[in-house]
Structure 1
Amino acid sequence: SLLALKAMGVSKVIVVDIMENRLKKALELGADAVINGKEADTSAKILELTGKRGCDLSIETAGSEVTAAQLIKVSKKGAVVVFVGYSPSGTMTLPIGMALDKELTFKTIFRYRNIYPLAIEAVSSGKANIRNIVSNYYELDHIQEALTDCVGNKAEIVKGVVKVS
């Protein structure tokens, strides 16, 4: 999401996560600011970083009711909130009254469906440099290790790639 936003010319991108390695990687990839949601009041920090104006566009990728509510809280009047993350239960309770007061627009997308041509163009044109997003490489002979590591070690592995040659 960070790379896509930067490729589309978004001027300021703030990334929130609870895993330090992902936050470090976000800074390497061009995030203007990062917030560790376990260590800071995310809403207060976003408002501070935006001069109390809030966000024009927010993308929720965690599938968390907490983060979805935070984005509604820090959105400007008339902003857009995009829901990408799928909650484990498939349901969320959100502050809809606040969303109505702010006249927010909600958009949803399931696993970035129908945007592959745009993504391919962004990568091939150099607008999105995906090379640096990968933190771990594995040979095809070690695919089981790759799967085990990527599922069981999310705090350390940002993106894993299995090389097929």
Structure 2
Amino acid sequence: MAKFVAGQTIVAVKDFNSSYYGRIITTGKRYEVLSAGQYTGRVGVRDDRGSKRFFSPDHFMSVQAYEFKKAQERMNRFEPGEIVPVGSFGDHLFLRDNHGIIHVQPKPKRKTPRSIKIDPADAKAALTKMLKDVYGIDATVEQVIGAMDKSLELVLGE
């Protein structure tokens, strides 16, 4: 049984449905502990309708524990039919399916582009932005190239 204290923020791990009110505690929603039973450990929170109610501490987790649990679930999530790479050796790639069977395939060859077409206006704009952001030079690329003929110190000096 978890011990919670007044003022602590907790997260609901189970929905709680009332036959009269419907759902009054929602999974994944954060609640603030208003009070906790000294002997029973029951937690007093404001439900989704705004009323103070007492619930079993089994319905809640601390925020840190809940986020850790969710991170573990994301890491361990395995979709049916999904093939996950588990490693490689030499020219072979080892894959695992949802039944735990290891499959070996040759590594795919990476295709490198032989040439890339870039619009000259986009390249000039990107280089000008880099000059301003990285080097603090408030000039266009054409101005810098033109000044390099005369003196590089003229452009970079203060």
The verdict on a shared fold, with TM-score over 0.5 as the criterion, is: no
Q: TM-score, normalised by structure 1?
A: 0.17
Higher percent of residues as helix: 1
- The structure whose residues are more often strand, as a share, is 2
TM-score (norm 2): 0.18
Q: Which has the higher contact order (CA 8 A, sep 6+)?
A: 1
Larger Rg: 2
